[in-house]
Chains A and B, each alone.
Chain A
Amino acid sequence: MHIADQLLQLLFTGLTLGSIYSLIALALVTTFNITGILNLAQGEFVALGALLAVSMYAAGMPMAAAFTVSVLLVAMLGGFLERFAIHTARGASGLTLIIITIGLSISLRGLALLIWGTETYSLPAFSKGGPLFIGGAAVNPQSLWIFGLTAITLAGLYAFFELTYWGKAVKASVINRAAARLVGINPHTVSFLAFTASGALGAAAGIFIAPITMTTYDMGFMLGLKGFVAAVIGGLSNVGGAVLGGILLGILESYSAGLISSGLKDAIAIIILLAVLLIRPEGIIGAIRERKI
C-alpha cells in the first residue's frame, strides 16, 4: 500500500473511532451540564445496548426491532438508575456522587459478565455490500452509519435545546437552578430525563459500533473512559468541544496505533487525559466555549 493511501486509511479509521467517542462524550457532557454529575457508568450503557441487541438479533428479531427495543431498555435503565441512586443521594458531595456512578458501572459490568460471559459477540453490518473506495482507502459502510448517527444526534440536540419548550427549560435550569424552579421547571425531572436520554444515546452508539468492534461485557470501560477524555479535551461542559475532542482523539489513536504500536492505543488516550488535566483543566478547545449547551 502506498504511504499516502495508508495515511488516508488511518484517517478514516480515526474518524470512525472519533465519532463514537464524540457520541459518548455528548451524552456525558449533556448530563454533566444538566446535573453536575460526571456519569462514569456511561460506557456500560454502550456495552449493554450492544449486547442486548446482539442477543435479540440472535433470537430472531429483525435488526430494526432489536435496535429499538435495546435502546428503550437501556433508556429505562438510565432513568431507573437516576431515580434509584442519583436522586436518593441528591445533596451529597460531588465526590460521593462520583463514587456512586463508579459503583453503578462496576455492578453493571459484573451483571453483563454474568449474563453474557467473556465471549466476544458481533452483529452483521446494517447495509450489505463491500467497502467504498475513496482515494486509495477503503471505507466500511458501517462507518457512514456511525457518521450519520453522530450528525443526527448533534442536530437533534441542537433542535431540542434551541427550538423546543422542554429544551429551553433544560437550558434554563442549567443556567440558574433556583430561577428555573421559580418559573415551574422541576430540576429533578430534568435530571431524570438527562439520564434516560444518555442511556438511549449510549445504547444506540453501542449498537452502531457492534458490527465493527469486538462486543464484550467489558467493552464499555475503555469506551466510557475515552468519552471522558474527549469531553475533557473539550472542557467538560462544551458540546462542540466534546465532538471535536472525540474526533481528535480518534485520529490520534488511529495514527499512533497504525504507525507506532497498537499497544499504545489505549495509553495515548490516558496520556492525553493526564496532560490536559494537569496542564489545562479547562480544556484545550477553549476558543469555542462561549456557551454551555
Chain B
Amino acid sequence: MWKKAILRPAAVLLLFAVPLLIKSNYLLSILIVIGLYTIIVQGLGILMGYAGQVSFGHAAFFGLGGYTVAILTTRFHWPTVLALPAAALLPGVIAAIIGRPTLKLRELYLALATLGFGILVHIAFTEGKELTGGPSGITGIPYLSIGGLTFDSDIKFFYLVWITLFLILAGINNLVRSRVGRALRAISESEHAAENAGIDTAKLKLQAFIFSALLAGLAGGLYAFYVTFISPSPFGFHASVQFVLMAVIGGLGTFWGPLLGAAVVVTLGEFLRWAVPLVIPGAGGEYQIIFFGLILVLLMIFRPEGLGALGKCLKLSPEKMPGTGIPSKDI
C-alpha cells in the first residue's frame, strides 16, 4: 500500500511539472490529446471492463460533445462555461434514450448496433448542412473562459485537461470500490450470478453506458475549445476502433490502463506519422491503422488482459487479479 501512496502523487506531480520543464508546444499538444482520449477511455473502460459491454460508436459521443460546443457557442452565442456542461449532457441524454433497447442485445448484435449508431451520427455531421457546416465543419469556436480565466494557450489547456482527468480518476477510483463498483465487476464475471445476488444488471449497464457517453461528450467539448475548429473527420469509425484499442491495450478494469492505452496509441501514431514516410516516400493518409489493427488483433489473441497487467505496480490493487480481459459470455 505504501508504494501506491507514494507512486501516485509522485507521478501526478511529475506530470504537472512537465510544462515547466519542457517548452515544446508540440509535446504539450500531444499530452493534451492523450489527456482528452484518456477521459473517453476511462468511460469506455468502465463499460467494457466492468459492465462487460462493448461500443464501436464512442467516437459519435465524442463528436456530439464537440458539435454541441461548436453549435451553441457560434450559432447561439452561449457563454462558453455553459456550453461545456451541455457538451457532456447531450450525449448522456442520447445514451439514456438509445441505451435501454440497445443494451438488451447480445455481444455480436451490440457491437453491430453501436457501430451503426456511430456511422449514422457521422453521416449526420457530414450531411447536417447549415447546422453542422457539412464536411468542412465549423470554425471560430471561442476559447473556454471560466470566471475571468480564459484558456487560450497550450499550457493553460494542459492544466485544465489533466486536472479534469485526475478529478475523474479520483471519482472512478472511489466508484469501483463502492457497492456500484463491486456490482459492476460482478456483472463482468457472471451476469447470471450477479442477477441472482440481487443486482439490477440492466440498470447498472445502462448507467455505465450513460456515464461513458457523458465522459466522451465532455472530452469532445474540451476538444472543440482546444482546437477551436470542428469537422466530421476525427469522429468516424476509425476513431471508435482506436478508443477500443486504447481500452484493451491498457488492460480493462485497471486503474492506470486507460492512461497507458491512450499514451501508447497516440505516441505510436505520432511515431508512425514520422517514420513511415521515411521508409515509403509519398505515403499519405491514415496508414497508421495498419499497425493499430494488427496490434489489436495480436493483443486479442495473445494478451486479452492488456499490457497494463504486465507491471505489478500498475495494477488496480495488490489483492485484485489483473484485468481479465473481455469477459466471455456465460455458458
Contact = CB atoms under 8 A, between A and B. Distances in A.
A277 B113 contact: yes
Nearest to B328: A93
Contacts of B325: 96
A274 B117 CA distance: 8
Contacts of B228: none
A104 to B, nearest CB: 6
A271 B109 contact: no
A103 B111 CA distance: 13
Contacts of A274: 113, 116-117, 120
Contact of A267 (B107, B111, B120, B328): B120
A88 B301 contact: yes
Contacts of B123: 263, 266-267, 270
Contacts of B328: 92-93, 95-96
Which of A103, A113, A228 has the most chain B CB within a 10 Å cutoff?
A: A103
Interface residues of A, number: 41
A4 interface: no
B292 interface: yes
A111 interface: yes
Nearest to A101: B297
A171 interface: no
B265 interface: no
A228 B300 contact: no
Please classify the interface of chain A as helix (H, G, I), strand (E, B), loop, or mixed, using the class held by over half of its residues: helix
Interface residues of B, number: 51
Given A85-B297, A266-B123, A95 B284 contact: no
A53 interface: no
Interface string A100-117: 101111111111011001
A66 interface: no
Given A102-B241, A103-B296, A114-B287, A277 B105 contact: yes
A94 B329 CA distance: 8
Contacts of B111: 95, 98
A232 interface: yes
A228 B101 CA distance: 20
A106 B117 CA distance: 19
Interface in B70-86: none
A92 B119 contact: no
Interface of B: 54, 56, 101-102, 105, 107-109, 111-113, 115-117, 119-120, 123-124, 126-127, 237-238, 241, 244-245, 248, 276, 280, 283-297, 300-301, 304, 325-329
29 contacts: A88-B301, A89-B300, A93-B327, A93-B328, A95-B54, A95-B329, A98-B107, A99-B244, A99-B296, A100-B296, A100-B301, A103-B295, A104-B297, A106-B293, A106-B296, A107-B289, A107-B292, A107-B294, A110-B292, A114-B276, A114-B290, A117-B284, A225-B116, A266-B119, A267-B124, A277-B105, A278-B101, A278-B105, A281-B105
